[in-house]
Chains A and B, each alone.
Chain A
Amino acid sequence: MIVCITAQGNNLDSEIDPRFGRCSYFIFYDTETKTYEVFPNKWKEAMGGAGTQAAQFVLEKGAKKIITGNVGPRAEAIFKLAGIEVVLTSGKVKEVINNL
């Protein structure tokens, strides 16, 4: 399963970014292969609708679970429609992955 974690930095030692749509990086962690991919968030500075586009991007990447600090109402609506589990938490990305 692919898990998407919003991160403040581009590696597993980073803190979880408390914002979903306007986070700094998306880390996609594959629980089967134990590998990960990092993407900077293109919509971090978007004028509006950052969450809608970020949610669409995360779904395209095949994530089935989202771990972040907080999700805005628009992104939340999209995840609900797509039936994606959203976990709100804080701490280091590495710790979250170890607990998966």
Chain B
Amino acid sequence: MIIAVASGKGGTGKTTIAVNLALSLENVQLVDCDVEEPNVHIFLNPEIFEIHSVKTVIPQIDKEKCTYCRKCSEICVYNALSVIKLGNYEKPHGEVVFFSHLCHGCEGCILLCPEKAINRGEREVGIVKIGKKENVRFIEGRLNISEILAPTVIEMAKSFINKNIPAIIDAPPGTSCSVVASLKDANFCILVTEPTPFGLHDLEIAYEVTKVLKIPSGVVINKSEDDTLIENFCQKNNIPILMKIPFDKKIAEVYSKGWALIEAFPEYKEKFLELFKKIKELQK
């Protein structure tokens, strides 16, 4: 079973929920898919024993074959290729300029080049780390600085999931491509929110994403105080509220030290086990 932890708004407590749920279970995998700023490792302190490189395909132009016809540049929706034809020589002469950071690795140019003058090259865009902390198998995707292909790194990280053990995915915030890549194929999605107008607004759009992806979901209210805003929304849309974590300075202090909640307050382990039980029941 794959459980994704997502939220529209950032800073609602996705990582807190994902890490503590994982630490409460016996045999589990925790996958940090927030590849632009992975932070699960801060709270988990895992031992890393494997690092894999994540590569994307890039075009490599064979200047012997290229006629500078501009077909590759025309079909590239990301404008990653510019073709310059220079002068009037007997043999075609020019430059094909490739802007690697605009390329999404679709390989369209390689397929459609009429001269077969484009070869498949590779470029690293990120890494995947594999490690362990006690009963938790740890997988982390990490996008290299200045790169944009977060979904490529997320998909690679997810490819390391062992299907026989439950996996918990810490998704990035928002509702962009990286969130869709993280949620795809999940069996359940925990939507973490806070009882503020911002929290509600972004919960609404995150919930829409889970509906489109046909993933059953439930809400966890973090920094819980007066939760009327969220409760009304959940009631109206028939979304179960699975857990509440109070707005408590002591919890913030523990977080600021990089500790897991259940390490400081062992009584929370029961609550996270209860959360897992509820999700399993909703799966039936």
A46-B79, A52-B79 known; A82-B99 Cβ under 8 A: no
Q: Which residues of B contact A53 (CB under 8 A)?
A: 73, 79, 82
Q: Which residues of B contact A77 (CB under 8 A)?
A: 97
> With an 8 A cutoff between CB atoms, is A50 at the interface?
yes
A48-B78, A49-B78 known; A56-B102 Cβ under 8 A: no
In whole Å, how far is B72's beta carbon from the nearest beta carbon of chain A?
11
> With an 8 A cutoff between CB atoms, is A67 at the interface?
no
Q: Which residues of B contact A48 (CB under 8 A)?
A: 78-79, 102
> With an 8 A cutoff between CB atoms, is A64 at the interface?
no
> With an 8 A cutoff between CB atoms, is A100 at the interface?
no
The residues in A between 68 and 89 inclusive whose CB is less than 8 angstroms from any CB of B are 74, 77-78, 81-82
> With an 8 A cutoff between CB atoms, is A97 at the interface?
no
Contact across chains for A49 and B97 when beta carbons are under 8 A apart: no
> With an 8 A cutoff between CB atoms, is B84 at the interface?
yes
Chain B CB within 10 Å, residue with most, of A46, A52, A59: A52
In whole Å, how far is B79's beta carbon from the nearest beta carbon of chain A?
3
Interface residues of chain A: helix, strand, loop or mixed (majority): helix
Contact across chains for A78 and B79 when beta carbons are under 8 A apart: no
> With an 8 A cutoff between CB atoms, is B83 at the interface?
yes
Q: Which residue of B lies closest to A73 (CB)?
A: B99
Chain A CB within 10 Å, residue with most, of B81, B85, B97: B97
The residues in A between 44 and 62 inclusive whose CB is less than 8 angstroms from any CB of B are 46-50, 52-53, 55-56, 59
Contact-size category for A: 10 to 19
The residues in B between 69 and 91 inclusive whose CB is less than 8 angstroms from any CB of A are 70, 73, 78-86
Q: Which residue of B lies closest to A53 (CB)?
A: B79
Q: Which residues of B contact A46 (CB under 8 A)?
A: 79
Contact across chains for B78 and A78 when beta carbons are under 8 A apart: no
In whole Å, how far is B147's beta carbon from the nearest beta carbon of chain A?
13
In whole Å, how far is A23's beta carbon from the nearest beta carbon of chain B?
16
Q: Which residues of A contact B81 (CB under 8 A)?
A: 52
Q: Which residues of A contact B82 (CB under 8 A)?
A: 52-53, 55-56, 74, 78
Contact across chains for A50 and B79 when beta carbons are under 8 A apart: yes
Q: Which residue of A lies closest to B97 (CB)?
A: A78
> With an 8 A cutoff between CB atoms, is B62 at the interface?
no
Chain A CB within 10 Å, residue with most, of B79, B81, B97, B102: B79
Q: Which residue of A lies closest to B95 (CB)?
A: A81
Contact across chains for B84 and A59 when beta carbons are under 8 A apart: yes
Q: Which residues of A contact B97 (CB under 8 A)?
A: 52, 77-78, 81
Residues of A within 8 A of B (CB): 43, 46-50, 52-53, 55-56, 59, 74, 77-78, 81-82
Besides A48-B78, A49-B80, A52-B81, 16 new A-B residue pairs in contact (Cβ under 8 A), listed by A number:
A43-B79, A46-B79, A47-B78, A49-B99, A52-B82, A52-B99, A52-B102, A53-B79, A56-B70, A56-B73, A56-B84, A77-B97, A78-B97, A81-B84, A82-B84, A82-B86
Residues of B within 8 A of A (CB): 70, 73, 78-86, 95, 97, 99, 102
Pull 30 A–B residue pairs with CB atoms less than 8 Å apart, ordered by A. Answer: A48-B79, A48-B102, A49-B78, A49-B79, A49-B80, A49-B99, A52-B79, A52-B80, A52-B81, A52-B82, A52-B97, A52-B99, A52-B102, A53-B73, A53-B79, A53-B82, A55-B82, A56-B73, A56-B82, A56-B83, A56-B84, A77-B97, A78-B82, A78-B84, A78-B97, A81-B84, A81-B95, A81-B97, A82-B84, A82-B86
